[in-house]
Amino acid sequence: MNTRLHGLVAATHTPFHPDGSLAPEVVPVQAAYLASRGVGIVFITGSTGESHSLTRDERLAIFHAWAAAGPACGLRVVAHVGGNCLEDARHFAAAAADCGFEAIAALSPSYFKPARLEVLVDVCARIASAAPSLPFYYYDIPSMTQVRFDMLDFLTLAGARIPNLAGIKFTNDNLDAFSACLTHDDGRFDIPWGIDEKLVDSLAAGALGAVGSSYNFAAPLYQTLIAAFRAGDAGRARDLQHQSVELIEALYAVGYFGGAKALMTRLGVPVGPARCPLDNPTPAQLDDLWRKLDGCPWFGPPA
């Protein structure tokens, strides 16, 4: 498995019409916008993509939209296929292979949770085997799934069991574990980082790639941060990280998912509202948000 998710990977929104129905016709606009901002890889139908709020047909419709729009804009596409129904996950994995995507990822079932690491590995093996030609990433996000296992142990067990295991999408703030996974088995596995607010810390730990939602609208900020870090300007990199935290906190103040989608729409990518049960900002909240973000330099073209 030679796939490596290096650089910035935008975890994309699923576009909806104002009434909450699916809007796959917006995907080409998303793809063109992200490509124009220097993003080269997208991670679709994940947490940011509200995958748990999509029907099977809706997820497949988004797959097909990205299968056309991604390559047309020079974007590599990684599809999240996980969920609580294992057979659905296998179906999505096979569909991702049919679409010619770069790789697949799956988080753990989170209603009936695996009680032992061996069970989680079995879940991942079953999903990965439905698309044996595609690199498979386990999506570790314990803050959402409440599934918590040692990821170094996961790589040891899963690496021996899953032929197409590529690595872990590491949305877990345990930087010591992250660093250990990066160097495990002579760096055999790809471990993209998944917490935007701590990107600079992950770079210090050795990160080469990162998957995040704020890369949709603020990719130039993070590109500049990475460049500063690579140039040895740790102070500048830390300052930029602080700016990203302030931006994300402003969105959280109005409801992150709805606020981020409203910001994308304001930037010319009409991804619509967040779907219930997620909330959306009121007009007054949006007015306050735009005042806070007025003059933000990171919504233009890449630096």
Which residues are annotated as catalytic? 139, 169
Tell me, rounded to whole angstroms, the distance of Cα 285 from its chain centroid.
26
Cα-based distances in Å from 217 to 10, 96, 152, 273? 9, 26, 32, 16
From 206, 255, 274, 266, select the one nearest 20 (Cα to Cα).
274
Q: Is 18 helix (H, G, I), strand (E, B) or coil?
A: coil
Local structure of residue 38 (DSSP, 8 states):
T
Distance from C-alpha of 114 to C-alpha of 127, rounded to nearest angstrom: 14
On the CB side of 234, CA atoms within 13 Å amount to 4
In angstroms, what CA-CA distances link 43 with 79, 106, 151, 282, 289? 6, 11, 21, 28, 26
N-terminal to C-terminal alpha carbon distance within the chain: 32
Q: 6-33 in b/e burial notation, b at 16+ Cβ within 10 A?
A: ebbbbbbbbbbeeeeebbbebbbbbbbb
